[in-house]
Amino acid sequence: MIEVQISGNGNGDSSSGSSNSEAEYMSIISGHIDSLSDSLRQLSLRIHDNPEVRNKEVIAHEAITAFMNEQEDQRWSITPSAYGIATAFVADFDSGKPGPVVSFNAEYGEY
């Protein structure tokens, strides 16, 4: 499951101070994700080819955190095994610019 939330400007202010709408931000995010399509496909196949369940998603955790660390913009701060959970991670990106805070919350699915 993945949830997307856009709020405020990262300074506790609920207004972004920008004329961009949520739809415009989603368009920018979607465009960036589209530009990573090939590498995201490879990541997806690696996870798919190595099924893991019940908080033992070790290969998936390693693959995703490695992918995030390899991004060329190098503005990601990755915390593997976050919150005392071996398969959890936090990936923070700081653009260095004022604007909204975008949060993606995802969990490994066992369906």
Which tens digit of pLDDT belongs to each residue from 35-89?
Answer: 999 999 999 999 999 999 888 999 999 999 999 999 877 788 899 999 999 999 9
Is residue 27 over pLDDT 70?
yes
- Cα–Cα distance measured from residue 66 to residue 77, given in angstroms and rounded to the nearest whole number: 12
**DSSP helix/strand/coil, 47:** helix
Q: How confident is the model at residue 15 (pLDDT cuts 50, 70, 90)?
A: very low
DSSP 48-89: HTS---TT--HHHHHHHHHHHHT-TT--EEEEETGGG-TT-E
Q: What confidence category does residue 12 fall into, taking pLDDT thresholds of 50, 70 and 90?
A: very low
Closest CA to 52 of 86, 78, 90, 79: 86
